[in-house]
């Protein structure tokens, strides 16, 4: 399989109705690990994730992948803050991305069995996904994103508004995916979660990345005053 | 009031005796309406879904026209189809005037905008829900349309039933292009119009009750087959 990496965003900028929402941002994503993206509300975290994923059109700048662009989407996945579940059964939700990419029936059945067990929904495969709780839906959405073993996974505050148990289960899925070689970039507001999961962190303010660093350093000795203030719990505007 | 009781009695008598004429025109009503519905659905469901997901110049205009066409006067549709299919018309050579096919054509023109418009409304909401996911999965346009049609099938069934209701009760257009010819193009609605004109209100009402029963029956059957309200929210 061709490698998606390095994924490079050069002077990426997103403008809406004449107003700059994000950027300019330049960064490179490569290798393994889990990066958390932090910052106050409206900092541009979701826009940056979508721009890196290629579903937010850049007003300026350029996004490049290590592989041809027509193959880049197949190697990545996205989990949204509000889980989008198809109006189908749990099994059909898991099968959907596999069918899109032509995975055979037998392999599909094997993967669905495997992933439904991982998210503890094996006994509810035939139920409509709408009957699941919020936490179960997010687990399903995460499993659906991971079922094709993407090289790169983006998550936009996947555990916001979830209970502790669901959060722990999703974090376990993410750790397993990272250990399995999936590169993860995740926006989160949860400092404790960021500390638990992050290998490195990016801090955004006013549409720009103002600080990056490896995990312990970023959280313990941030270089910039804005990052320190944010991590202290101050309200930033 | 007596006419209504007489109508109910006539309806019961016609059904219990399996009146041959009633069976014939009822089957023709169903044949014409279901044929028109199938053709209209083939056009309207993908069209309505496409309009929901595709942005293009004049899209709003197209949607506004589609909504306006829901109110097409059937008599005018019938007149236009009549002119097109008459011997002097551009399609006169096909000899379709005063045939069930002409009635199907008129009904397709009447119900396609209705089904497409309801489909568009339903698919627009579903597309808003699915948009980010389907874009993220890099689905093609056909895959998006297919996914929305599959997952929105209950809403589409409602759209189709609305089209069926409009078509089965339609009289103006099919009277003009079908001609209400006995054993050839007579259907329930045109038979009702004929019996009313003759002053046989009881028989007209009887046919009317059969028509209502037929429409209700198809609706209930569709809901039963579609397992509406059975599988949770979807």
Question: The tokens of A119 are what?
Answer: 């998210």
Question: According to the model, what pLDDT value does residue B93 have?
Answer: 93
Of the candidates B130, B143, B232, the beta carbon closest to that of A128 is on: B232
Cβ(B28)–Cβ(B225) below 8 Å: no
Encode pLDDT of A11-47 as tens digits: 999 999 889 999 899 999 987 899 999 999 989 999 9
Of the candidates B133, B138, B233, the beta carbon closest to that of A84 is on: B133
Indicate the number of domains in chain B.
1
- Please give the Cα distance from B227 to B234 (Å, whole number): 9
Distance between A96 CA and the closest CA of chain B, angstroms: 10
Distance between B228 CA and the closest CA of chain A, angstroms: 13
Residues of A in contact with B133 (CB under 8 A): 80, 84, 86
> What is the residue range of B50's domain?
2-226
Residue B130's nearest CA partner among B116, B115, B117, B149 is: B149
- What are the E-state strand segments in chain A? 7-16, 19-29, 34-38, 60-64, 76-79, 152-156, 183-187, 200-205, 208-214
Question: According to the model, what pLDDT value does residue B233 have?
Answer: 43
**Domains of chain A and CATH, by start:** 7-87+149-232 (3.40.50.300)
Contact between chains at A80 and B152 (C-beta distance less than 8 A): no
Q: Does a structural domain hold residue B232?
A: no
Question: According to the model, what pLDDT value does residue A69 have?
Answer: 75
Contact between chains at B233 and A78 (C-beta distance less than 8 A): no
Q: Does a structural domain hold residue B233?
A: no
- Please give the Cα distance from B210 to B201 (Å, whole number): 14
Helices B141-151 and B20-53 meet at what angle, rounded to 10? 130
Contact between chains at B139 and A100 (C-beta distance less than 8 A): yes
Distance between B148 CA and the closest CA of chain A, angstroms: 9
Question: According to the model, what pLDDT value does residue B33 have?
Answer: 96
Encode pLDDT of A121-165 as tens digits: 999 999 999 999 999 999 999 999 999 999 999 999 999 878 899
Cβ(B25)–Cβ(B214) below 8 Å: no
Residue B7 belongs to domain with CATH number: 1.10.3720.10
Encode pLDDT of A161-215 as tens digits: 788 999 999 999 999 999 999 999 999 989 999 999 999 999 999 999 999 999 9
Helices A164-179 and A134-146 meet at what angle, rounded to 10? 10
Which residues of chain B, if any, have pLDDT below 50? 232-234
Encode pLDDT of A58-116 as tens digits: 999 999 998 887 778 888 999 998 899 999 999 999 999 999 999 999 999 999 999 99
Contact between chains at A80 and B231 (C-beta distance less than 8 A): no
Q: Does a structural domain hold residue B231?
A: no
Radius of gyration of chain A (CA): 18
Cα first-last separation, chain B:
43
Question: According to the model, what pLDDT value does residue A237 have?
Answer: 66
CA angle B158, B169, B2 (to 5 degrees): 120
Distance between B139 CA and the closest CA of chain A, angstroms: 8
Nearest C-alpha in B relative to A89: B234
CA angle A20, A24, A27 (to 5 degrees): 140
Nearest C-alpha in A relative to B144: A100
Question: According to the model, what pLDDT value does residue B232 have?
Answer: 47
If you average pLDDT over residues A213-224, what whole number do you get? Answer: 91
Nearest C-alpha in A relative to B154: A87
Residues of B in contact with A88 (CB under 8 A): 151, 234
Alpha helices in B54-199, H assignment, sequence order: 59-69, 74-85, 100-136, 141-151, 153-168, 172-178, 188-198
């Amino acid at each position: 399989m061709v490698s998606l990496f390095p994924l490079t965003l050069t002077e990426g900028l997103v403008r809406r109705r004449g107003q700059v929402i994000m950027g300019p941002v330049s960064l490179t994503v490569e290798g393994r690990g889990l990066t958390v993206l932090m910052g106050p509300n409206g900092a541009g975290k979701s826009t940056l994730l979508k721009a890196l994923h290629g579903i937010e059109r850049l007003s300026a700048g350029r996004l490049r992948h290590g592989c041809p662009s027509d193959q880049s989407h197949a190697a990545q996945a996205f989990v949204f803050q509000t889980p989008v579940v198809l109006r189908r059964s749990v099994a059909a939700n898991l099968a959907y991305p596999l069918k899109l990419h032509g995975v055979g029936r037998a392999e599909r059945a094997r993967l669905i069995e495997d992933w439904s067990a991982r998210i503890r929904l094996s006994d509810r495969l035939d139920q409509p996904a709408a009957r699941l709780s919020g936490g179960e839906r997010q687990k399903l959405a995460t499993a659906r994103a991971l079922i094709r073993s993407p090289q790169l996974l983006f998550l936009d505050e996947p555990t916001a508004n979830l209970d502790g148990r669901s959060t722990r289960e999703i974090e376990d899925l993410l750790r397993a995916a990272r250990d399995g070689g999936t590169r993860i970039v995740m926006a989160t507001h949860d400092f404790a979660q960021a500390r638990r999961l992050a290998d490195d962190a990016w801090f955004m303010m006013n549409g720009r990345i103002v600080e990056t660093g490896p995990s312990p350093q970023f959280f313990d000795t941030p270089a910039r005053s804005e990052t320190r203030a944010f991590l202290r719990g101050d309200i930033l505007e | 009031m007596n006419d209504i009781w007489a109508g109910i009695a006539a309806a019961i008598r016609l059904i219990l005796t399996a009146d041959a004429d009633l069976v014939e025109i009822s089957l023709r009503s169903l044949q014409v309406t279901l044929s028109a519905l199938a053709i209209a659905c083939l056009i309207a469901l993908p069209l309505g879904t496409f309009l929901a997901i595709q942005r293009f110049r004049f899209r709003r205009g197209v949607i506004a026209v589609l909504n306006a066409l829901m109110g097409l006067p059937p008599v005018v549709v019938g007149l236009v189809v009549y002119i097109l299919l008459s011997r002097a018309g551009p399609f006169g050579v096909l000899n379709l005037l005063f045939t069930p096919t002409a009635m199907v054509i008129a009904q397709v023109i009447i119900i396609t905008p209705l089904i497409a418009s309801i489909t568009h409304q339903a698919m627009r909401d579903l597309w808003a829900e699915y948009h980010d996911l389907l874009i993220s999965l890099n689905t093609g346009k056909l895959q998006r349309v297919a996914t929305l049609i599959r997952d929105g099938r209950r809403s589409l069934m409602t759209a189709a039933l609305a089209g069926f209701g409009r078509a089965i009760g339609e009289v103006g257009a099919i009277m003009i292009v079908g001609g209400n010819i006995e054993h050839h193009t007579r259907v329930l609605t045109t038979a009702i119009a004929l019996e009313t004109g003759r002053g046989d209100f009881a028989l007209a009402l009887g046919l009317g009750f059969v028509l209502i029963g037929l429409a209700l029956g198809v609706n209930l059957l569709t809901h039963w087959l579609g397992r509406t309200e059975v599988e949770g929210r979807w």
